Structure 1
């Protein structure tokens, strides 16, 4: 339980959830990379690495902003799947919006096609939920 002396960030980030953070970043990258490969082929990852990374970076920025604010790495997130999964999904929704907003800006390629909005929201959200469920199932 949070005490008065704990800072906002102390309540939102617990070192024990570092494995969750690493896994979340991998899941986000893997799901988005799967989409890139589906549309462009595997060779795209090496022939246009900048294009591939410009797909990932906006969503990583969104995640790195939103996940700590929502509490995806709080002590509670490390206790059970019941707490952890909703925190990840609630973090992904605004992170996806930020990522798509960045992609729609002149700083990144790709835009924010409406179907991509739905697909990225659902596929990565499900990926994060499944990953976190598996983490607690294996423990």
Structure 2
């Protein structure tokens, strides 16, 4: 069954090709901040000793971002215009994106579980990484 016109227009309003570079910036920013957390808890050797474990630490939050970012409009036409537009969209999308990540991490699909302090740290540092990444992107590439 083909998607209805209203579904197509909903997604069309939230995903614009001009915002594609922001997707790369966001994935790099979130991956970097989560990797710093992995290193802080396990040491830098962990990255090469257990690369699968490292990647599986990132996946729940990247999946959460991949779901919430487009739905909230983090890659809409407006997001590609300026930092003033892009940064608030990223912050608004990170809250539900992180919640999806927390739910996945608390599920039997991923190890690590969920503790409230972990949630606060990931929410704050992930949000800060998205803000910094998008700000830097627009500073460098206008």
1:114-133 equivalence runs, <5 A: 114-133=116-135
1:14-93 equivalence runs, <5 A: 14-93=16-95
Name the structure 1 match of 2:3.
none
Distance 2:56 2:137 in 1: 29
Distance 2:115 2:55 in 1: 18
Distance 1:132 1:105 in 2: 31
For residues 81-136 of structure 1, give each alpha carbon's deviation from its aligned partner in whole angstroms, at most 9, with x where no partner exists.
Answer: 11110100111101101101111011100111111100000001011011111222
How many correspondences in the alignment? 135
Q: CA RMSD in A?
A: 1.2
Structure 2 residues not aligned, in runs of 5+: 1-5
Q: CA deviation at 1:10?
A: 1.1
TM-score norm. by structure 1 comes to: 0.93
Q: Is the 8 A contact 2:25 2:137 kept in 1?
A: no
Distance 2:103 2:43 in 1: 25
Structure 1 residues not aligned, in runs of 5+: none
TM-score norm. by structure 2 comes to: 0.91
The answer to whether 1:105 aligns with 2:95 is no
For residues 62-90 of structure 1, give each alpha carbon's deviation from its aligned partner in whole angstroms, at most 9, with x where no partner exists.
Answer: 00000000000000001111111010011
Following TM superposition, the consecutive aligned residue runs of length 4 or more in structure 1 with deviations greater than 4 angstroms are none
Distance 1:41 1:64 in 2: 28
